[in-house]
Amino acid sequence: MMPDFTQQGAGEPTPAPNAPAAPVVYFNGVSKSYGRIHALSNVTLGLSGGVTGILGMNGAGKSTLFKLLMGKLRPSAGEVKLFGVDPWKNPSPYAKVGFVPEHEKMHDWMTALEFVSTFARLHGMTRSEAKTEAARVLDFVGLSDVANKEIGRFSKGMRQRTKIAHALVNDPELIVLDEPLQGCDPLARTTIMNVIRELGKLGRTVLVSSHILSEIERITEQIVILHQGKLVALGNLHAIRERLDEIPHTIRIVGDDARSLAKDILSHPAVFGVSFPNETELLIQTYHFGQMHAELPRLIVENGHNVHLIDNPDDDLESLLHYLAGGEV
């Protein structure tokens, strides 16, 4: 059962005292393969409440996971439960679900209001109820001023927000968002992230997938990492990060004179190696990533260097995955 965050006293029947409450999302040893390609292998996972980021490279199995959950695909092995019910050939749990698919194609000839209210009517709402609800959710995602414009004339970010609004129209307990930030401009990104955080605060269970670590980091700490169809990590992102600090890291600095900069930095105890890909670029190897980042600005300024860029080429999902897979960066 979900905690009653809104304190409105949900009118749902209380389960029998001894009956274990079914998790909102439950995967038990689920595999999905297409011939010899394993899109998902032996994933076991139970989620209820809060925002969970599903991280993975393209093709890691995020969309497959969502499609299995939404009854679009049938698992090759294992069982999928949505609110305790097998979603394959059974649309009844979708009454409590909102799904934002990854597909870009929408019904461009409709206005945002028509789009959202048409699908709201599939929840059994009357025409007027649907219109009211559609206006409410479009306002929630910040599209109320363009609600009567055709989707075909929307930017990528506005389209994504329309899709999110369509998924929220039934006030769902579970919201599944497949790559909602992909292709969005920074403003839309921020709006969408705020919407997702807001939903989490409202006590909804939210699943959001992405292949960009920093995006997920800004939304939630609870993550699931998929790699090549396998579940490689599940838990708090910061805990994973801290362990990541103990392994060697690379920092890339682009400046006017890489060699003289290297001289000043090599003296620092946290640095154990440097290399020069070219005249202006310097790569630093360090075991203490956090400490190094804190002290780098001082080192540069004190020694009077001119630096254009500081970058962490391996502070991304790929290196995280490498680390999780084999312990090396």
Q: Does 167 bind other proteins (CB under 8 A)?
A: yes
Residue from 62, 159, 166, 288 in contact with other proteins (CB under 8 A):
166
Residue 268 CA to residue 20 CA, distance in Å, equals 55
Choose between 77 and 95: whose C-beta lies nearer to other proteins. 95
Q: Does 149 bind other proteins (CB under 8 A)?
A: no
| Contacts to other proteins from residues 102-131, by CB under 8 A | 103-107, 109-110, 118-119, 121-126, 130
Query: What is the nearest approach in angstroms of other proteins to the Cβ of residue 169?
Result: 10
Question: For residue 36, with 0-12 CB atoms within 10 Å meaning exposed, 13-18 middle and 19 or more buried, which class applies?
Answer: exposed
Question: For residue 306, with 0-12 CB atoms within 10 Å meaning exposed, 13-18 middle and 19 or more buried, which class applies?
Answer: exposed
Please give the distance of CA 24 from its chain centroid, rounded to a whole number: 18
Query: What is the nearest approach in angstroms of other proteins to the Cβ of residue 87?
Result: 10
Q: Does 243 bind other proteins (CB under 8 A)?
A: no
Please give the distance of CA 52 from its chain centroid, rounded to a whole number: 7
Q: Does 298 bind other proteins (CB under 8 A)?
A: no
* Strands in the chain per DSSP E: 25-34, 37-47, 50-55, 77-82, 97-100, 174-177, 205-210, 222-227, 230-236, 249-255, 271-278, 281-286, 307-311
Query: What is the nearest approach in angstroms of other proteins to the Cβ of residue 49?
Result: 21
Q: Does 154 bind other proteins (CB under 8 A)?
A: no
**Number of residues in contact with other proteins under rule CB under 8 A:** 35
Neighbouring residues of 189: CB distance < 8 A, sequence distance ≥ 6: 157, 181, 215
Query: What is the nearest approach in angstroms of other proteins to the Cβ of residue 205?
Result: 15
Q: Which is it for strands 222-227 and 205-210: parallel, antiparallel or unpaired?
A: unpaired
Question: What residue has token string 């391996």?
Answer: 314
Query: What is the nearest approach in angstroms of other proteins to the Cβ of residue 82?
Result: 11
Residue 52 CA to residue 97 CA, distance in Å, equals 15
| Contacts to other proteins from residues 69-88, by CB under 8 A | 70-74
Residue 130 CA to residue 121 CA, distance in Å, equals 6
Query: What is the nearest approach in angstroms of other proteins to the Cβ of residue 2?
Result: 19
Residue from 55, 56, 67, 181 in contact with other proteins (CB under 8 A):
67
- The residue ranges that bind other proteins (CB under 8 A) are 67, 70-74, 89, 91-95, 97-99, 101, 103-107, 109-110, 118-119, 121-126, 130, 163, 166-167
